[in-house]
Chains A and B, each alone.
Chain A
Amino acid sequence: MIYFLRKLLSVSAALSLLIFLPGFLLAQTVQVKGTVKDAEGKAISGASIMVKGANKGVSSAEDGSFSLTVPAGPATLEVSSVGFAKKSVQLSGQSTIVDIVLQESKSQLSDVVVVGYGTQRKSNLTGAISSISNKDFKDQPVSNLASSIQGKVSGINVTSPSGTPGAGLLVSIRGAQNPLYVVDGIPMLSESNSALSTSFNTTGEEVGKGQNLSSISDINPDDIESIEVLKDASSAAIYGARAANGVVLITTKKGKSGKTQIGFNSYYGMQQVAKKINFMNSDQFVSMVEEARANDLAKYNADNSVFGPDFDPSVLTDPLHYKAGPGAVNTVWLDEVMRTAPIGNYELNLRGGNDKTHFYLSGGYFDQQGIVIENYFKRMNARLNLDHAVTDKFLIGTNISVSKTNNHRSFNDNTYTGIITNAIGASPLMPVYDENGNYAKFEDYQANWLSDNPVKSAKEIKGYTTSYRFLGSVFAEYKITPDLKFKTTLNTDYSAVEDELFLSALTTDAEAVGGKAFNGNFRNTTWLNENTLNYQKSFGDHNLGLLAGFSQQESKNERTSMSGQGFPLGSGLTNISSAALITGATQTGSGWRLHSFLGRANYDYNGKYLASVTFRADGSSRFSKGNQYGYFPSASVGWNIDREAFMANSKVLTALKLRASYGYTGDQEIGDFQNISFWQPGRYDGQSGLRPRNIADPNLTWQKNKSFNIGADYEILGGVIGGSMEYYVANRTDLLSNIPIAGTTGFATLTTNGGEVEDKGFEFSLNSKNIWNNKFRWTTNFNISYQKNTIKKLPVDGELVSAYNDIAPTHIMKVGESVGTFWGVKYLGVNEQTGDAMFDDVNKDGVIDFNDAQIIGKARPDYYGGLTNNFKYGNFDFLIACQFSIGNEVYNLIRPVYENLGYSNDGGLDQVFANNSTHSLDRWRKPGDKTDVPRFAFVEKNYFENSSMFVENASFFRFRTVNLGYTFNKQKLHNIANLRLYAQVQNLFVFTNYSGFDPEVSSTGGSNDRTAGVDYAAYPQPRVFTFGLTASF
């Protein structure tokens, strides 16, 4: 097959040689000169001036001037520029000077959109692509570029599972998570490569993923010109085996000819936690314990058999050893571990060039302190984008980006010495420091939940992740004929991550061993060589575009780590060499290769009828021989109805295009070496041997996404209102999944292809220029996506999965339900007479346990979208961007900790389980009370952790960005071309019924959508106030 493909490509390359057409020397020519300006008389640079029918043209210079040679006699110039209406100018034959005025266009149809391996005009697109440009996301104080598209485009649901600076985001394109990111043509690693988990149990084992970092944060959002999201198969299939979850194309800023522009952007501001959970104070806490005991005592006095034969009622009557009241300690723990933290960003760029050479050079520094004490994320980065025309036909260039990020990690989430997780349960009677100034000993106070003093955890567990990233590409492009271009690129993505973790001897984790340290190193190098031939030619009204290419990619990584314990007291040394005992050393490597052949043909008839077919063949080392190659075809058609005669005169509906596409994309992201049964090293008694690691399915193959899309793009009144609608059905089949297999094989799961998930949806977007004149402009962008995710087929139906591997199942995979369906016991409310919590006893055995579990909710939203309003009045501009999500629920698994209703967890008199939030004050008190909070109870739990008691509606409407800016008049500024000052609030307010910190949450980091929507005290999101300026010189 490979042989055949190579043959095919070489034949097509050879054929293209025949397309060399001899140029004709024209007998008579006229030199035409002129300028291109806008309605206000400002020069338009870079406008295209073409001679109609002659396939010949030039671009206007910075001052709008141009000059070109046209044949003598009548001729027509076609002048176009992005953002302006196209204009035809008749040359009368003799006139040699023309001044052209272009009218600003409200229409976006002539905008150029980046597509895989090329660009296309929006009017010619046949696939579903959402595009967002720099002006729509600049100024936002975010570290991760994916934040930029939150709520801005339809079909993409970006959520922030954690407020941790530098944290990864959950990007879901039409229901499929973890898209492929392509930066200036380079597919980029986007997973978290840090070895520091932030989720441990008491024995130091990793129990979940915890907060993940995102290597996408290595890219500076300021450097980005535009982001395109390829949503359907026809646009994404050109990326074949990695496109099943959609593709995000990131294009960075390029140089422009003309005087070098120096730009300076900066903002500085403050962050605060957006929402706090209110906890009981000392008085309320002690009264809760007393009320819980009184309730139990009443129950005991009424019927002492319910407490069992061995019950000692003294725990209900003995006086407590602690009391609240005047002089009692009253610590508000969340205030102790959170702070108002600064955030700052400074960026300088130079952009310029001449006819032959263009450059963009930038450097930036971003510093975000965390709202949890000690935590921060800093990034330094530089970028150089350079291109140079060696001759008219030969273009070379390079895009280079280097960055370094420093992250002081914060331990929260499902980790037992987590800062927030502990602060949430700590007793208000416990001080932070004792009278000697030492950390208060958490064992001596009244909350059993606590595993360390939260402030101590924050200060004495020091985790750092430092990452270095180099993304570089060089390319050469040669115009073999005016219509045929050859391009070759060599790209590299180098990434190094250093992890350091030190737990001082003061921490509970390391107290017994005198300090613990872990050091990890990760290094990944990816090489990619791509070669493409691009052919563009018009034959009268028939326009043809062909693309053929071959690429090969290799990625290799190595991971090493060391750990040790026992450090010289008082020395401050934390390096492994000073450890008393080396407790671990690992070195592992991994890698994959991908060989790909790709092709695309675009055809249109006079811009009216459009058709496109793409094909990609990918061979991946991750699959066994015979299954290595996957073939990903797609086809799409479009019809620009407005170009038909019957619509030509329509004044209202000025543009309408219908599109349809169908195609296959694939997914190879199953990890390396899953296709072979391996034995791994296993040690015993000082010797190393081999033991089974996995059992493999030798027939493992690609996951396919078969997707169908129909869409319409419309513009009303020449672009006053515009937008698109999409309907799609995407079936992901042969799902790469770990299916449960009989334990008698020695393994719990097998990585194989099985199951089918369907995503169906409808997307609608609307851009409206409500008011549009030179003084006042008001635009509204609105988008909404409806999405339904259904499991169609599973190799094993009804598999229970757990968000953390040390707790009971939290989710179920079931045919007919969506991925991320919650599993637990159903809560039926409070018994008005007794105040007891009531649950659905499914099997009617009189006992509430996991056998009574049922489906109790789902993590996925039904609708999501955004609403953005932009105002511009004179020199002022104002923006409000909102984001919403409807129908999603959160399994708030940390709530049982802080809504335990005075439960003592067998801890007896002195150790109730944990403090409670003030929500518990709404508890049942006397017969007849109507409330959904059960009575306080001391001995027996009056709640059930894995129950719908803790499943909450997490629909929300968020004011994500509010920005007010002022642009100074140029005349008043010395040497400054442009100056704008602004004030901004990020995450101003969230309307939601969700009781946790933030409804956008996933304590598991969200990388596994099967266990989505769990809140285990994830790092809260901040509200950010910033002041900024952008200036250019």
Chain B
Amino acid sequence: MKFSIKSIIFFLALTSMFACQKLEVVSPNDVASEDVFKDANGLRSALIGLYSTLQQRDYYGGYYPLIADLNSDVAKAGGYDNPALNEIADHAVTSSNIYVEQIYVALYKSITNANAIIDAADKIEDVNLTEEERKRIKGEAMAIRGMIHFDLLRMFGYHWNNASEFGIPVVTTVQGPYDIVARSTVAETYASIIKDLTDAVGLLSNAEINAKYMNLLAAKSILARVYLYEKNTAQAASLAQEVIDDGSFSLLDADNFTKIYSGRLSSESIFELSFDSQNPSFYNGTTYVREDALRSEILFIASEGLHNFFEARPGDRRSELVDFVNNDPSILPDGRTQKYRGEVAKDNPAYIIRIAELYLIAAEAKGLAGGGLSLLNTLRVNRGMNELKPADVENETAFQQFVADERLAELNFEGHRFFDLARTEKIHDVIGVDQEKGVFPIPQRELIASKEQVKQNPGF
């Protein structure tokens, strides 16, 4: 008896050493990357995911366009005297700026997603994947990849100088954790962007245009924008005209154009990134937050300069979108843009590209001589302004100034002004700093992490 108790104890002692469960634990939250692209469904899921990465706070979730505007004459910094925001507003961005650092990585994160789709799109064998769908998915991903590279170029590279070495790191392959990509030249960067967008145009079909997604016309529109920056005016003009002529998208008139902002997916939006209350964007929260918000409660304030600009444009109904009157009289006239109202749901979309911009691209690219004035006038009339008579426009320079002003009036707080000033090399004239401040610095973090393989822009 005594021995048998001992035996039982020992049996227990020994068996417990073998009775172990397996060590691995499977995550209920995520899917291992090697399991994502097993079939067509993986490809479809990854494409939805790609749009969700565009929604990142530091990209089209709000900060990419708004931080760019903050560096121009459109916006001023709010917030609790935040040095990182203030230095952007003072056009003295340093390379350790936390916002710039986060934006840089956010954009490459979207590229990572796009690259994985493009890489897998040709490899996946699945009877349920039609050739048509394969082309659509790949086309959307390629157009988005081109767009993101362009957004990086205009923020971090010398996009106005095709001969410059200061392009951006072009990433078109799936990256390992220790891979480092050095900067391409500006010309190489443009070439890659244009190739992506051109290939995408070839892959996307005209059948269904849904402005919530990257589509054929959006790809063409962004390509027109790229050509304009690259100063390939002929291509820019013809592509822009093509989109206008397509007729899928059209301008709203002076009484209705504010519906671009109050409604969703107006006829003007060619690519409009949607948000909802469970995936809110940051536009309202950083520009209007609530009716009587103090300047400290919001991050991006409309500048007095923008107010003065509209004061000098009688009839321009777009002035209604800049609010300088609603605040408590004891508070300085801090402006708010009205483009992002919606304090309840905070589902303000990102207006990635609108038809109005295509009119502006075409007008600028064609120039006064090429018949740009009528395109400019079409937009002016639809915003409550009178038509410019040929006599009002003395020469090409004057015409280009009209276009530039029109761009400011139309696209403020949509992330264009800073890039436009850099593109036309007006940084010094308008905001009083050198043209080399027409780009953002490569974040210090990147210089360190890339072991200095990524070089800093001059002057930072």
Assess whether A488 is in contact with B332, with CB atoms less than 8 Å apart.
no
Which one of A9, A202, A679 lies within 8 Å of B31 (CB-CB)? A679
Name which residue of chain A comes closest to B343, CB basis. Answer: A512
Residues 26 to 63 of chain B near chain A (Cβ within 8 Å): 27-34, 36, 42, 44-53, 55, 57
Assess whether A478 is in contact with B295, with CB atoms less than 8 Å apart.
no
Assess whether B82 is in contact with A443, with CB atoms less than 8 Å apart.
no
B378 within 8 A of A: no
Assess whether B52 is in contact with A691, with CB atoms less than 8 Å apart.
yes
Assess whether B289 is in contact with A202, with CB atoms less than 8 Å apart.
yes
Chain A: residues with Cβ within 8 Å of the partner, total of: 114
Assess whether A806 is in contact with B178, with CB atoms less than 8 Å apart.
no
Q: Which stretch (B102-110, B253-261, B390-398) binds chain A?
A: B102-110
Residues on B with C-beta less than 8 A from A873 are: none
Residues on B with C-beta less than 8 A from A800 are: 96, 444-445
Name which residue of chain A comes closest to B330, CB basis. Answer: A910
Which one of A449, A550, A742 lies within 8 Å of B181 (CB-CB)? A742
Assess whether A512 is in contact with B344, with CB atoms less than 8 Å apart.
yes
Which one of B109, B299, B331 lies within 8 Å of A910 (CB-CB)? B331
Residues on B with C-beta less than 8 A from A786 are: none
Which one of A444, A799, A849 lies within 8 Å of B448 (CB-CB)? A799
A628 within 8 A of B: yes
A875 within 8 A of B: no
Query: Given the interface contacts A590-B27, A740-B445, A744-B108, does A550 sit within 8 Å of B285 by beta carbon?
Result: no
Residues on A with C-beta less than 8 A from B42 are: 690
Q: Whole-angstrom distance between the alpha carbons of A797 and B450 in the complex? A: 12
Assess whether A684 is in contact with B52, with CB atoms less than 8 Å apart.
yes
A451 within 8 A of B: yes
A-B pair number, CB within 8 angstroms: 323
Residues 253 to 275 of chain B near chain A (Cβ within 8 Å): 274
Residues on A with C-beta less than 8 A from B16 are: 488, 529, 531, 550
A552 within 8 A of B: yes
A755 within 8 A of B: no
Residues on A with C-beta less than 8 A from B45 are: 688-690
Query: Given the interface contacts A480-B6, A906-B332, does A590 sit within 8 Å of B23 by beta carbon?
Result: no
Residues on A with C-beta less than 8 A from B285 are: 202-204
Query: Given the interface contacts A741-B177, A746-B111, does A689 sit within 8 Å of B297 by beta carbon?
Result: no
Assess whether B27 is in contact with A679, with CB atoms less than 8 Å apart.
no
Which one of A684, A691, A744 lies within 8 Å of B274 (CB-CB)? A684
Q: Whole-angstrom distance between the alpha carbons of A679 and B94 in the complex? A: 33
B79 within 8 A of A: yes
Assess whether A743 is in contact with B28, with CB atoms less than 8 Å apart.
no
Q: Give min CB distance, B316 to chain A, whole Å.
A: 23
Assess whether A807 is in contact with B454, with CB atoms less than 8 Å apart.
no
Q: Whole-angstrom distance between the alpha carbons of A478 and B9 in the complex? A: 8
Q: Whole-angstrom distance between the alpha carbons of A338 and B131 in the complex? A: 69
Q: Give min CB distance, A522 to chain B, whole Å.
A: 14
Assess whether A443 is in contact with B344, with CB atoms less than 8 Å apart.
no
- Among A695, A743, A910, max chain B CB count under 10 A is at A743
A224 within 8 A of B: no
Q: Whole-angstrom distance between the alpha carbons of A223 and B31 in the complex? A: 45
Query: Given the interface contacts A740-B445, A945-B83, does A693 sit within 8 Å of B178 by beta carbon?
Result: no
Assess whether B25 is in contact with A689, with CB atoms less than 8 Å apart.
no
Query: Given the interface contacts A205-B57, A684-B274, does A750 sit within 8 Å of B30 by beta carbon?
Result: no
Residues 589 to 610 of chain A near chain B (Cβ within 8 Å): 589-593, 595
B4 within 8 A of A: no
Residues on B with C-beta less than 8 A from A903 are: 81
Residues on B with C-beta less than 8 A from A40 are: none
Would you give the 0/1 interface string for B290-319, flagging 1 where the beta carbon is closer than 8 Å to chain A? 111111111100000000000000000000
Which one of A533, A682, A941 lies within 8 Å of B48 (CB-CB)? A682
Residues 784 to 821 of chain A near chain B (Cβ within 8 Å): 796-800, 802, 805-809
Q: Whole-angstrom distance between the alpha carbons of A742 and B171 in the complex? A: 12
Residues on B with C-beta less than 8 A from A742 are: 169, 179-181, 446, 449-450, 454
B65 within 8 A of A: no
Assess whether A678 is in contact with B32, with CB atoms less than 8 Å apart.
yes
Name which residue of chain B comes closest to A532, CB basis. Answer: B13
A863 within 8 A of B: no
Q: Which stretch (B221-229, B238-246, B276-284, B379-387) binds chain A?
A: B276-284
Assess whether B36 is in contact with A690, with CB atoms less than 8 Å apart.
yes
Assess whether A443 is in contact with B292, with CB atoms less than 8 Å apart.
yes
A172 within 8 A of B: no
Would you give the 0/1 interface string for A566-603, flagging 1 where the beta carbon is closer than 8 Å to chain B? 10000000000000011111001111110100000000
Known pairs A480-B9, A673-B30 / 9 extra A-B pairs, C-beta < 8 Å: A203-B299, A673-B27, A678-B27, A688-B48, A690-B36, A691-B46, A692-B49, A697-B177, A744-B179
13 residue pairs A–B, Cβ–Cβ below 8 Å: A513-B344, A621-B23, A673-B25, A679-B30, A681-B30, A682-B52, A743-B449, A748-B101, A806-B82, A808-B98, A809-B96, A906-B295, A941-B81
Nearest 4 interchain pairs by C-beta = A689-B48, A746-B112, A682-B52, A691-B49
